[in-house]
């Protein structure tokens, strides 16, 4: 498992020990290394001679994104498999706002048609939030209609963090939480704090439990 914090991580050197430049075999042993993209390097035998592994355009773009990655001071980026850089975990620990003191884990998966399509993001920690429902779906404009190919992984991570500091009750997934934030901000704050203490909260006629994060 590969962990990164803050700016310009270099997963190629840490994960594969290969510098990410050459996809041929190293040395005479014939043993294959893993490239930056999790693709088998080394010479692949074929009837006319050796072939070089082909690298998809999405992998080249992703390599560039990760070289410039900046998650900020409240995030940690983890690659569960260092050889698969299209799948990562984003851990957010807000240092201010309603969810201060909590730890929230997101999964981020980059599709094959990235950057023409945005990454897929899911919140794996149950949260009481207007823009994240209880099933972990995330409502973020740049993951939908406002996505543009010029945006990158850093922009997505910053967007996730922004939700913790400036929740938007006018574009909700959890409509009950959004209505409470609009109509009674103080009660909303008390409800969030109750969830952070692990208390069950009545939502839409039933009680929902949340993981305890603070006392």
Q: How far apart are CA 168 and CA 192, in angstroms?
A: 15
Task: State the DSSP code for 30.
Answer: -
SS3 call for 89: strand
Question: Which parts of 68-184 fold into alpha helices (H)?
Answer: 153-165, 175-183
- Within this chain, do residues 93 and 23 fall inside the same structural domain, yes or no? no
- Within this chain, do residues 17 and 98 fall inside the same structural domain, yes or no? no
Q: How far apart are CA 201 and CA 207, in angstroms?
A: 5
The CATH number for 155's domain is 3.10.110.10
- Within this chain, do residues 63 and 168 fall inside the same structural domain, yes or no? no
- Within this chain, do residues 128 and 188 fall inside the same structural domain, yes or no? yes
- Give pLDDT < 70 ranges for the chain: 1-55
Single out the catalytic residue among 36, 139, 157, 180.
139
Task: State the DSSP code for 78.
Answer: E
SS3 call for 206: strand
**Global pTM?**
0.75
The pLDDT, as a whole number, for residue 205 is: 85
DSSP string, 101-126: T--EEEEEE--TTTTTSPPEEEE-S-
**Which range of residues forms the domain containing residue 30?**
1-71
Question: Total structural domains in the chain?
Answer: 2
Residue 123 a catalytic site member? no
Tokens of 40: 């088998």
pLDDT digits (tens, 9 = 90+) for 118-157: 999 999 999 999 999 999 999 999 999 999 999 999 999 9
The pLDDT, as a whole number, for residue 57 is: 82
């Amino acid at each position: 498992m590969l962990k990164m914090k803050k700016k310009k991580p270099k997963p190629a050197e840490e994960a594969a020990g290969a510098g990410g430049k050459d996809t041929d075999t190293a040395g005479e042993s014939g043993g294959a290394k893993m490239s930056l993209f999790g693709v088998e390097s080394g010479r692949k035998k074929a009837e006319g001679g050796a072939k070089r592994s082909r690298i998809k355009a999405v992998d080249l773009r992703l390599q560039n994104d990760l070289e410039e990655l900046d998650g900020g001071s409240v995030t940690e980026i983890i690659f569960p498999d260092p050889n698969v850089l299209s799948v990562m975990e984003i851990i957010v620990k807000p240092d201010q706002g309603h969810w201060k003191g909590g730890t929230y884990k997101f999964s981020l998966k980059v599709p094959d048609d990235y950057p023409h399509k945005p990454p897929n993001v899911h919140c794996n920690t149950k949260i009481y939030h207007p823009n994240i429902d209880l099933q972990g779906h995330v409502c973020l404009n740049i993951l939908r209609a406002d996505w543009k190919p010029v945006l990158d992984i850093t922009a997505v991570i910053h967007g996730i963090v922004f939700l913790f500091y400036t929740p938007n009750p006018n574009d909700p997934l959890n409509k009950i939480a959004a209505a409470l934030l609009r109509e009674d901000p103080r009660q909303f704050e008390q409800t969030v704090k109750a969830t952070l203490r692990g208390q069950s909260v009545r939502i839409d006629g039933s009680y929902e439990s949340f993981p305890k994060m603070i006392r």
